[in-house]
Amino acid sequence: MHLYLHIPFCKQACHYCDFHFSTNTSRSQEIVNAICKEIELQKDFLGTKNLETIYFGGGTPSLLSISQIEQIFSKIAQHFTIQPRAEITFECNPDDITIQRLTEWRNLGINRLSIGVQSFDENHLKFLNRAHSTSHSMQCISDAQKAGFDNLSIDLIYAIPSVSNEIWKLDLKKAFSFDVNHISSYCLTIEEKTVFGHRLKEKVMKPIDDDFASNQFDILLEEMSKNSFEQYEISNFAKNTAYAVHNTSYWQGDQYLGLGPSAHSFDGNKRFWNVSNNTKYLKAIAVNTVPNEFETLSQKDKANEYLMTGLRTKWGVDLGKLNKILPLSSKDFRETLMRFRKEELIREEKGILRLTKAGKLKADYVASEFFF
């Protein structure tokens, strides 16, 4: 079983982010109390009590105090069994990391950090409206390793508007210099309800240039390969098979429980999502109600989801497995497969469909064209 906890607070709003969060942290203790209450309400969600992974996401979990994190762990331990080798990931921002906090996190059982670096360039950090500096990033990664965190992931963003690719190449070079075992790298996208979205609408910002983004993606793949990183998912790279176990469980269709405002859950047949509003979440939990909605997945939905997630990963889409979900008798499916093979966007080996390098640039499009 996999457990996700959404901590809906941030110091400030990054200009690109459309996740649910609040910059008003005055209700953080109320939210922590409510999440602990939701743990009680949802303890039987999946039947099993054995936790293989725990993931603190957000928002910014590193804004929580040690006592608040300890409170959540204590409640989890009351109702679940954390497996001895469970992966316990904690998202954090460089400016929240100190040697003392790192030691305290380790003592609580956190064994994997996901650090939101995004860029090592000061101007890019200001453009994104990040709260940390380049020096914060450099220092915190070093401190985390000294504190015993050998399972580290750092986040980077590419396609940030620039006159050349040099800043992106330097970002990658600095990331590799720390010898971390995992890097997540995402293309900058402009979402409608963000600062960048408003700027685009008001025409004070240009759309992300597709050719520029494509070029930077090519650089990403080339440099990752040179530095012994395996691309096991479109945006995720690992050394020595240090895959993110929790995130991989999503891509492979495992069941999971999500807690906190806006958190999602999956029981194998239904997808649930909590209300993305802190006040509404607190009011519902106060009267012992989980404030969520759900949808029941049809066989078509399950097949389409498998196509969407499977094609993004190194494991690809097993046509035999897909056929068990939904019989592959569709003429359109076969014609689409032939078209993409001809266009060299996809390849088939022993009944497994995988994207080519060119196909990875169009992953969502390719998957959607196969949809039933």
pTM of the model: 0.95
Q: Which two tokens stand for residue 229?
A: 């990183």
On the 0-12 / 13-18 / 19+ scale of CB atoms within 10 A, 329 is: exposed
CA atoms of 346 and 356, how far apart (whole Å): 5
User: Residue 21 above 80 pLDDT?
Assistant: yes
CA atoms of 362 and 360, how far apart (whole Å): 5
Give the CATH number of domain 299-370; options: 2.30.33.40, 3.40.50.280, 1.20.1250.20, 1.10.10.920. Answer: 1.10.10.920
| Average pLDDT rounded to a whole number, residues 285-300 | 96
Do 190 and 200 contact (CB within 8 A), yes or no? yes
Residues 30/34/35/39 CA torsion (nearest 10 deg):
150
Distances (CA, A) of 259 to 18, 255, 276, 306, 320: 19, 14, 12, 24, 34
pLDDT of residue 372: 87
Amino acid at 101: R
| Tens-place pLDDT, residues 71-122 | 999 999 999 999 999 999 999 999 999 999 999 999 999 999 999 999 999 9
Only one residue has tokens 């939905």, namely 301
Do 326 and 372 contact (CB within 8 A), yes or no? yes
Q: Which two tokens stand for residue 315?
A: 């494991």
SS3 27: helix
CA atoms of 106 and 88, how far apart (whole Å): 10
Of 235, 236, 239, 266, residue with least CA distance to 250: 266
Average pLDDT, the chain: 95
Indicate the DSSP class of residue 255. -
Per-residue confidence band for 331, with pLDDT thresholds at 50, 70 and 90: confident
| Average pLDDT rounded to a whole number, residues 230-257 | 97
Q: Which residue has the higher pLDDT, 61 or 48?
A: 61
Kind plus residue range of the DSSP H or E element containing 357:
helix 357-360
Q: Can you give 76-141 as a three-state secondary structure string?
A: HHHHCEEEEEEEEEEEECHHHCCHHHHHHHHHHCCCEEEEEEECCCHHHHHHHCCCCCHHHHHHHH
Q: Which two tokens stand for residue 286?
A: 């106060």
| Average pLDDT rounded to a whole number, residues 202-220 | 95
Do 250 and 265 contact (CB within 8 A), yes or no? no
Give the CATH number of domain 2-251; options: 3.40.50.300, 3.40.50.1100, 3.40.718.10, 3.20.20.70. Answer: 3.20.20.70
Helix axes 363-370, 331-342, angle to 10 degrees: 150
Total residues belonging to the chain: 372
pLDDT of residue 358: 93
User: Residue 298 above 80 pLDDT?
Assistant: yes
How do the domains of the chain map onto residue ranges?
Answer: 2-251, 299-370
